[in-house]
Structure 1
Amino acid sequence: MTSPAPHFYLGPVVPRWQPATLDDVRKALSDGTVRERHWIDVKRQVSTSESDKKEFARDVASFANDGGLLVIGVAEDKANGTFSVAPVPLSGLPEQVDQILRSRCDPPLFVQCHPIEDSGAEGSGVLLVEVPPSPLAPHMVDGRYHGRGDTTKYRLSDAEVVRLFGLRSARQVVARQLIDVEIARDPVPVNREVESRLYAVARPLAAPPELLTEHLMGREIHDLVLARAGGSRHWQRLDEVEPRAAGRGWHTYGLNSRSLWLEFDKVKTMCDLEIADNGALTLFASQLSSWRNAGKDTTQKFLDDDDAVAVVRGLVELTGALGTAYGYPGQWQLAVGMTNLLKGVSRRADLEWSNTPEDMLRYSADDYLNATTASTAECREHPGAVTHRLMYRLVRALGTADQSAEIFA
């Protein structure tokens, strides 16, 4: 699947910018569409000196709070206050940008690079570095946090840092509301003595209400769902499809119209995915735990945390695929919740069965909840990183973070 054409937000009073050629960049520089402001900056090049690398990382980190764009390959005539295209070698430049931001920003910062080649000089051009609003903002560089003013970056005050961290906390409140809605509409009765469940939501933050209305019943969107089936037994069981009031549903046998009609004692692993007209995805998966013997006269609840991580990875990948296929490049809010986890042990744990039950590493809370935001591009290109933000704290507590490294990659 090819990536959509670049489509950049440059501020509330400027139309979105969609450059396809270097002439588009030249025109935007001459008419003032591209000039240094809160959401955009220009640079002549990315230097290889250590001080310049730090300065570049600070520039990008300052954009991560609200989002922004850096245009590399632009010269400034300060005497006249004008800008002009000054093509730079593009080979290896996106990789250099990525390496700088991963090694000098804490936490590492995701950006998307869009090269625009000069038709008259093969291999040269400008590089557009798109910086989406980061769910992990603020990002520290060299021990300091930075923000963006009208035209330049500045060091954030303590109060501004507290405000940004407060926004992170607020996302958890919204996540709890989203997950509580999904728990309330779970169609399968819960046997809390036996079973852990997972609920997940991916909600576009600025999509039109009918983003997918004309596409929901088509074969293409069905194929996008089926493409996730390889990573999880739950995704593999989404073999029934139907239209619904909310959009379109994929579900396991027995969950027609998101209503259970099988006898409860015949219910096995159940899974339901719903995609709404505006692109929102909701998913639940049952039976993510089981009871087994754990030594003489002892039973233990074992959690299928490996499949839980794979289920979430599949949802992140599908989010990126849907946004790409149907023209929504913006931000998504993603939330994951799991229930009935208390005292569960990972089934992947390398347990010494001779140990007493007290020696086993158990999950120390009943529920799990986490949330993040991510752009379509990050879900598409770095689904492991998004999954890591959503699920790392679960597997860390179960002692299986190393076993999840491949899914997080």
Structure 2
Amino acid sequence: MDCHKLRRLLKKEEGPKLDFKAEYDLSTESGKKELTKDVIAIANSRGGRGYIILGIEDKTKRVLGIEPKRYTEEQIQQIIYNRCDPPVPISVDFVGLDGKTVGVITVYRSSHKPHQMIQNGAFYIRRGSTTDIARRSEIANLFQENGLMTYETVILKNVGMEELELRAY
């Protein structure tokens, strides 16, 4: 990630694949959970790679910057790896912008959707610019879209033998 690409991202509005954050407090469990929730939501949403940009004021997009010592790639990778099932592929970059340091978490397109938070069992998605818990139908769609559940493999309960179409075989 370079400052030119970062400036292009800052011109865009928040959406399913782009989130601006002033900061995460990764010294607390709630901060780690918030980071994990946002990464999962972007990974589970349709489209290619997504970005969480740290050190940017949410509504105004003012560059606040972050203290890079408080965020290391290893720390962020471990938080995501230990709290997501399956783990979400990410990378972390630090970019100088307007004399401040901005963190960019790239959430890569995943072929292992849907991703779930291990701690609470929830599946998250982005609805526009907000992170939300996925509904049952949305979770089913994620499983179907990624070939993890097909109509041929779904168990039908309370179906009698007379329902089988034996001539088809």
The letter of the residue matching 2:65 is: P
For residues 243-287 of structure 1, the C-alpha deviation after alignment (integer angstroms, 9 at most, x for no partner) is: xxxxxxxxxxxxxxxxxxxxxxxxxxxxxxxxxxxxxxxxxxxxx
> Greater relative contact order: 1 or 2 (C-alpha under 8 angstroms, separation 6 or more)?
2
Superposition pairs for residues 159-238 of structure 1, below 5 Å? 159-169=137-147
Q: Is the 8 A contact 1:136 1:168 kept in 2?
A: yes
Q: Per-residue deviation at 1:168?
A: 2.5
Work out whether residues 118 and 125 of structure 1, in 8 Å CA contact, stay in contact via their aligned partners in 2.
yes
Per the alignment, do residues 53 and 149 of structure 1 end up closer, same or farther by CA in structure 2, a change over 3 Å counting?
A: same
The equivalent of 2:34 in structure 1 is 55
* TM-score (structure 2 length as normaliser): 0.73
**Matched residue, 2:161:** none
Compute the displacement of 1:25 (Å): 4.2
* Aligned mates of 2:97, 2:15 — CA distance in 1: 25
Cα distance in 2 for residues equivalent to 1:25 and 1:35: 13
Please identify runs of 4+ aligned residues in structure 1 that moved more than 6 A: none
Shift of residue 119 of structure 1? 7.4
SS at match of 1:165: helix
Give the total of aligned pairs: 143
Local SS of the residue matching 2:62:
strand
Alignment of 1:2-151 (within 5 A): 6=1, 20-21=2-3, 25=6, 29=10, 33-47=11-25, 48-65=27-44, 66=46, 67-76=49-58, 81-91=59-69, 92-118=71-97, 120=99, 125-141=101-117, 142-151=120-129
CA root-mean-square deviation: 2.5
- State the Cα deviation string for residues 6-44 of structure 1 (Å, max 9, x = none): 3xxxxxxxxxxxxx22x7646753xxx233112100111
Q: Who is 1:362 aligned against? A: none
Q: Give unmatched runs, 5+ long, in structure 1.
A: 1-5, 7-19, 171-409
> Shift in Å at residue 155 of structure 1?
1.1
1:167 to partner: Cα distance: 2.2
- Whole-Å separation in 1 of the counterparts to 2:90 and 2:23: 17
Amino-acid identity (%): 28
User: Residues 374-406 of structure 1: CA distance to partner in whole angstroms, max 9, x if unpaired?
Assistant: xxxxxxxxxxxxxxxxxxxxxxxxxxxxxxxxx
Tell me the secondary structure at the aligned position of residue 125 of structure 2: strand
Q: Distance in 2 between matches of 1:24 and 1:110?
A: 20
CA distance in 2, matches of 1:99, 1:27: 29
Letter in 1 for 2:136: D
Tell me the distance in 1 between the aligned counterparts of 2:64 and 2:96.
Answer: 12
TM-score if structure 1 supplies the norm length? 0.32
* Structure 1 contact 63–133 (Cα < 8 Å) conserved: no
C-alpha displacement of 1:160: 1.4
